[in-house]
Amino acid sequence: MSEDEVEIRLPEASDAAQLLTLLTRLQRESDTFTLANADDPISVSQEADQLRQIEHSDAHLLLVASLGKQLIGVLSIAPTPQGNVGELGLAVEQAYWRQGIGTALVDEALYWAQSASSLEAVGLIVQTRNVAAMHLYQKMGFVRTSTPPETVKDDAGKPVTAVEMVYPLTNQN
């Protein structure tokens, strides 16, 4: 792989520090990306342990996009309380938007979900003002559910409208 070629891959425990740094950058860059436990940061060793655990899960996935040695994007799928649906989260550094990186991450994740996971569907909640993300998910085959739009809070605490989308998995093992 050349230094200017983006690679989509599973993160290794040795990526923990850089991944935490990326997540902090992404949180600062976007008001549509929020970390679930942003108020309770974890250490590099805790992140490394989590990466090792995710590696052996058929319901969790974490992918990174790297350019050379620099991480520039991340995608996660984590099981919801229902257990058979995975919630997708995606973020790419703003400098790399509209270059196909988000599409490549989602494509790889959906392949994993269909071929290697125990999930029946992949879902997400997307803010309606995030038009580019909504377009990406629709292009990849996600459809809006019949669940009415909901109001969520952005990082500044302002209410924004969001919709639920789902990608049903049909070719289970």
Q: Which amino acid is at 34?
A: T
Q: Which amino acid is at 125?
A: I
Confidence (pTM): 0.84
Domains present along the chain, CATH in parentheses: 6-168 (3.40.630.30)
Q: Say how many C-beta atoms besides its own lie within 10 A of residue 162's C-beta.
A: 20
3-state secondary structure (DSSP) of residue 90: strand
| Crossing angle for the helix pair 101-115 and 131-139, to the nearest 10 degrees | 40
pLDDT at 33: 61
pLDDT at 112: 94
The stretch 15-23 carries a mean pLDDT of 88
42-86 pLDDT, tens per residue?
777 777 777 777 777 777 899 999 999 899 999 999 988 887 899
124-168 pLDDT, tens per residue?
999 999 999 999 999 999 999 998 888 888 777 889 999 999 999
Query: How high is the mean pLDDT of the chain?
Result: 86
Strand partners, 126: 163
Cβ pair 134, 128 in contact under 8 A: yes
* CB contact set of 43 (below 8 Å; sequence gap of 6+): none
Residue 171 binned pLDDT confidence (cut-offs 50, 70, 90): low
pLDDT at 43: 73
Distance, in Å, from the CA atom of 50 to the CA atom of 38, rounded to the nearest integer, reads 16
